[in-house]
Structure 1
């Protein structure tokens, strides 16, 4: 169907199905833009959250070197290069448990 650029002014009317599809695509575009903005906002809020409190210094037994660090609500753990997991109390800083990795 040929239609001039003038649209309804020149005798061409948009079919109802085409009008519905155009509106549907417009709404979908708006929803997708809103979703992307929401995801970006959530990522920004997540990365701006305060970092957890870490101990100022930590003395590892036997001169071991730390490989990784993780923490829980009342403890923190250090994985050493000697394949051990050292679990410390968060409040006192005392060694609570040692787990040897096979």
Structure 2
């Protein structure tokens, strides 16, 4: 009868496979942590500065607002485009889009 306490030697290929699986697990965990960190860093950016309020001219009803670099664009229902400074909220230009 064979002694059940004698360990059977592990084949070299099995040891190598176990090492590969362990390394792959470590690399996958590190990659997952890196991806999560990059997502958190990317979406933690602060919002761009916006004016406290924008006053439209009399009779203008806004239908669309677009944020651009350095300006806020407001399109009114009557076909006018108002360009406001993004920081101060001051009206910089009015364009008639109905033409």
Question: TM exceeds 0.5?
Answer: yes
What is the CA distance between 1:80 and its match in structure 2? 5.0
Give the structure with the larger helix fraction: 1
- 52, 60, 65: which one aligns with 1:63: 60
What corresponds to 1:90 in structure 2?
Answer: 86
Deviations 1:41-73 (A, max 9, x none): 22222232221111111123442224343221x
| Structure having the higher Rg | 2
What corresponds to 1:26 in structure 2?
Answer: 22
Cα RMSD, aligned residues only? 3.2
Q: Which has the higher contact order (CA 8 A, sep 6+)?
A: 2
How many residue pairs align between the two structures? 93
Uncovered stretches (5+) of structure 2, i.e. residues with no partner: none
What TM-score results when the alignment is normalised by the length of structure 1?
A: 0.62
- 39, 42, 46: which one aligns with 1:50: 46
What is the CA distance between 1:79 and its match in structure 2? 4.9
Q: Could you tell me how far apart the structure 2 residues matched to 1:79 and 1:39 are? A: 39
Q: 1:43 to 1:82 in 2, by over 3 A?
A: farther
